[in-house]
Structure 1
Amino acid sequence: MNVLLTGSSGWLGRHLAPLLQADGHRVVGLDVAPGAYTEILGGVDDRALVGRVMRQHRIDAVVHAAALHQPNIEHHSRQRFIDVNVSGTLALLEEAVAANVDRFVFTSTTSLMISAAIRAGQGEAAAWIDETLTPLAPRNIYGATKLAAERLCRLIHDDHGLPIVVLRTSRFFPEEDDQAHRISEAGENSKAIELLHRRLTVEDAADAHRIALAKAPELGFGLFVISAPTPFVRADAPALKRDAAAVIARLFPDASELFTRRGWTFPESIDRVYDAALAERLLGFRGKTDFAALLDALRHQRPLPFVHDPSYISPQWTG
């Protein structure tokens, strides 16, 4: 297939493009910044450009990974978020319908599921985050625009029958986490802990998109939380909030020793758990890298299975 990949110069795009090529697809990369897999420079909110690309390159499928992200909030206005994340998504969807595109995959975010109350850690148990969570109350313009874009995806599917899969991905970017101080000043420590409940590797995120592209016609419409497999179950939620270290020690008896060797610590409390079980059942995706894989790397002194780069800057910052 000829696949239009938006955000092709971004962290996800640069990992996803070679996977799609390995599957035999021709990747047409669109991004505001140049990159190894970017063929066309431009924004998704340029409807004329989007329509021209669809026609000239005979696009069969779209993977829409371009967006302004949460770190961009301090650099761009709310209107710019609406232009890129909402109007840009609508332009792609409508031009895809006009070009008789066969399928559409949209990169969304678990961030839109985190209300101010969840972020503040309110309640006596960790919030269990899956596709049934309601009401959705995004706490910032990023979440609000991604939720609006999701609803446009549903509307276009219902009106035109375009097969669409929406992937609410958890954290996979390499930059410093905004709550790393709760665990340690070391960002690697934060990322390691988050593999338990709110992170996946960029390689697994890319693989989820590859699978979604293949499964979209069969699913018709699908919306999935995409995160590393959690070892926790719902019954653990109160204990995770009260004494997360004890729960981790029960499930992984040698984790404390392995963390201590690295100078890492466990969190006192975990306030949310992302459950990707639906994606495993219906999409056929299960992340290859989980907390157990991290511990195995520590035991055998292998490289960590994720990237931590505090200096990373998204191409969209300069777009």
Structure 2
Amino acid sequence: MRVLLTGSSGWLGRYLAPLLRGAGHQVTGLDVAPGADTDVIGTVADRALIDRIFSERSIEAVIHAAALHKPDIARYPTQSFVDVNVTGTLNLLEAASAAGHDRFVFTSTTSLMISDAIRRAEGDRAVWIDETMAPLEPRNIYGVTKLAAEHLCRLFHQERGLACLVLRTGRFFPEDDDTHKQPSGENLKANELLNRRLTVEDAAMAHLVALDRAPAIGFDTFILSAPTPFAREDVAALKADAPAVIARYFPQAAALYAEKGWVLPATIDRVYDAEHAERVLGFRAATDFGSVLDALTADGPLPIAHDAAYVSPKEQQAARQTVSG
């Protein structure tokens, strides 16, 4: 299948493009920055460019992973988020519908499910988050525009019969968190596999599965995260004393963490439940918190990618343009 992959130079794209090719697909990569898997430099906000790619490349399916993200809020105006995240998605949906496509995979985010109230974590229990949670009240322009794009996908399925799967991915970025400083690096990422993170490899595999399953499903929204060990009944205890709850599921965790000089989370304020993706999409992340403990036990490589110096190709290019200008 001839697949248009947007965001092909990004962190997800560099893992997803080879995976698609390995499955026998012909991939056309589109990104605003050059990269090993990018064939066309440009923005999804350029409708003429999108139409030309569809015509010249005979595109048969779309995986739309390109977006402005939460860290971009400090760098780009609100209008840019609307142009890229909303208008760009509309351009692709219009082109896919006109071409008679039977599948469209949209990379969304669990971030749009986090309101200011959830962010402040003021309650006495962790928030259990699954696809039934409502109302959704995104706390910033990133979440607002991604939710708007999700609704466009739903509308195109409803009105034009385009099979659209929305994948709300948990965290998989390699750089340090831009708001949480302690613990940092691999320690924080390992902790987050308990409740809100997945590996980039798992995120890429989920997109491959979604591409295959979209026509049979039609339309649906899926949270993507490592399978959590916790149950809904744990939410109060997780907020009050997370290490005690973790010890019930992983008695060896505290000692392994101590040997590494790491700390377990003192409290957990939210848990993403990826059961719907496992049951309906047929996808379960391969790496979870237990995988980290197995690696620590064996003194082997950790199954999480961490690069404190990572800068996206988009921002690298913007920096070069600033210097040359």
Q: Which TM bucket (shorter chain)? A: over 0.9
CA shift for structure 1 position 266: 1.2
Gaps of 5+ in 2: 319-325
The residue identity in structure 2 corresponding to 1:191 is K
Of residues 283, 286, 305 in structure 1, which corresponds to 2:284?
286
Give the structure 1 partner of residue 49 of structure 2.
49
Give the structure 2 partner of residue 236 of structure 1.
234
CA shift for structure 1 position 178: 3.2
For 2:220, what is the secondary structure of its paired residue? strand
Q: Distance between the aligned counterparts of 1:118 and 1:72, measured in 2?
A: 21
CA shift for structure 1 position 310: 1.4
Pairs within 5 Å for 1:119-130: 119-130=119-130
CA shift for structure 1 position 55: 1.4
The residue identity in structure 2 corresponding to 1:50 is I
Q: Is the 8 A contact 1:7 1:13 kept in 2?
A: yes
Q: Is the 8 A contact 1:68 1:316 kept in 2?
A: no
For 1:287, what is the secondary structure of its paired residue? coil
Q: Distance between the aligned counterparts of 2:10 and 2:266, measured in 1?
A: 34
CA shift for structure 1 position 311: 1.2
Q: Distance between the aligned counterparts of 1:312 and 1:131, measured in 2?
A: 31
The residue identity in structure 2 corresponding to 1:78 is T
For 1:68, what is the secondary structure of its paired residue? coil
Give the structure 1 partner of residue 302 of structure 2.
304
Give the structure 1 partner of residue 97 of structure 2.
97
Give the structure 2 partner of residue 153 of structure 1.
153
CA shift for structure 1 position 315: 2.4
Q: Distance between the aligned counterparts of 1:179 and 1:248, measured in 2?
A: 24
For 1:180, what is the secondary structure of its paired residue? coil
**What is the root-mean-square deviation of aligned Cα atoms in Å?**
0.9
CA shift for structure 1 position 180: 3.1
Counterpart check, 1:164 vs 2:164: yes
Pairs within 5 Å for 1:145-294: 145-181=145-181, 183-184=182-183, 186-294=184-292
Output one character per residue of 1:170-216: Cα deviation in whole Å (capped at 9) or x when no partner. Answer: 000101113433x42x3211101000000000000000000000000
Q: Distance between the aligned counterparts of 2:303 and 2:271, measured in 1?
A: 20
Gaps of 5+ in 1: none
Q: Distance between the aligned counterparts of 1:130 and 1:289, measured in 2?
A: 20
Residue correspondences, number: 317
Q: Distance between the aligned counterparts of 2:187 and 2:87, measured in 1?
A: 38
Q: Distance between the aligned counterparts of 1:276 and 1:303, measured in 2?
A: 26
The residue identity in structure 2 corresponding to 1:225 is I
**Larger CA deviation: 270-279 vs 94-103:** 94-103
CA shift for structure 1 position 250: 1.2
For 1:63, what is the secondary structure of its paired residue? strand
Q: Distance between the aligned counterparts of 2:268 and 2:306, measured in 1?
A: 21
Q: Distance between the aligned counterparts of 2:179 and 2:187, measured in 1?
A: 11
Q: Is the 8 A contact 1:180 1:187 kept in 2?
A: no
Q: Distance between the aligned counterparts of 2:270 and 2:135, measured in 1?
A: 16
Give the structure 1 partner of residue 138 of structure 2.
138
Q: Distance between the aligned counterparts of 1:195 and 1:283, measured in 2?
A: 20
Over the matched positions of the two proteins, sequence identity in percent amounts to: 63
The residue identity in structure 2 corresponding to 1:36 is A
